[in-house]
Structure 1
Amino acid sequence: MAARKPPLAALEAAVGHSFTDRSLLERALTHVSGADDRIGSYQRLEFLGDRVLGLVVAEMLFRTFPAAEEGELSRRLAELVRRETCTEVARAWDVPPHLRLAAGGAFPRARQNVSLLADVCEAIVGAVYLDGGHGAAAAVVRAAFGPRMHAPQRPLRDAKTTLQEWAHARGLPNPGYELVETTGPDHAPVFTISTQVQGFEPCIGKGASKRAAEQDAAGQFLAREGADPT
């Protein structure tokens, strides 16, 4: 016998929106495996919700960081709407028990699937938008994503980009990167890269790829010079 799903009222309370048309929420929770066809699954709502989420987060960032340039705003936007963040929000809402999947246990691990939870998060935003309009959707997004806006999980800039901007701010040319040596077996090489900035001592970085070693070298340089990596 299939486990009884928790009442949708609990999910509505977690999301922060009471649906007038609860069928929208039901569709947002329905995987294509549990729907009669793709039109009855969350996919169309995900398409809409993705755009609504992006717009609301972009506006939120625009108002919260008035001194930020376009590049920083874009990086903050990408951090907030990425799959992993949407998955965190879906789990905070306790979405997994409410998912509507194919009967018979065909997808035993689907309830914790990162891509599925991220998609359903966006679908719920789309459902709220259709049910309550932009204001309702914006309120849900602000409540769920606002606290994460000030605490990004990843550096907003990679070390190489930060080092290049650091050099340009001082009127210096682009940093250079030079392969020093490659060690280790062919199936697990270790690359050693030197980064050079005009007028400064080089810094050495290591990594399993040239790109990783360059990032490490740039990060080592920034740490030595006391530059902000984010």
Structure 2
Amino acid sequence: MSAPVTLVVGAAQGIGRATAVTLARAGHRLALMDRDPVGLHKTAALIGEGTPVYPVDIRDHDAVEFAVGNIETDHGPLERLAHVAGVFSTGSVLDSDPDDWQRMFDVNVTGLVAVLRSVGRVMRERRSGSIVVVGSNSAGVPRMGMGAYGSSKAAAAMIVRVAGLELAPYGIRANIVAPGSTDTAMQRSLWEDPDDDNGARSAIEGDPAQFKVGIPLGRIAEPSDIADAIEFLLSDRARHITMQALYVDGGATLRA
């Protein structure tokens, strides 16, 4: 029988790419999924020749189901899932573009469900597996301008916990890693100059006018910080942890 496979969804850049690299170094056999084929191949090149890639838009449930079936048939049983895919933009609850709001829920919630259903069913059939979904600390604390993003991540967190409850009788764990500000293209898009590292200061120092505390540890995260937490929760070292949200945010939410 083929060795187990770990699927990384959202592997084309940022935290997803760092997760793929970290898991590969830890000995995982990977399959990579993302809607960005160019980024996927760049990530695969960092891991090693022959890493299977699946350019899939997770909003397409049938495409996700087809890809998961192909992974199982061609590469081996899916034993672990790291779901990192997500989209982000800012905007007022009252004034944001309805299409932008819908897009975030289509990807961050409905797309996640498509992946959880396809992967969770094959894990349930074998009564074995581990799932980690990347959420956000904005799921637990209100952030100005993040009504759509924060609420989509809050919905995702509850979906993962309920899925974890449903899968627990089969020995399958499901957890959330909730990052705060992390040095990715998504984070830098919020800065006045994305190429100026000093843009991180606003996140680190906070903004009382927006009711936002800073980051007690005095730094934003590197993608590898989030990837290390994902690797731990996927591993057997976390075998008695399920339905939990691990905040990796330097203390920014004061764990409210």
Q: Same fold by TM-score, threshold 0.5 exceeded?
A: no
Structure with higher helix content: 1
TM class, shorter-chain normalised? Answer: under 0.3
**TM-score scaled to structure 1, two decimals?**
0.27
Q: Which has the higher strand share?
A: 2
Q: What is the TM-score normalised by the length of structure 2?
A: 0.25
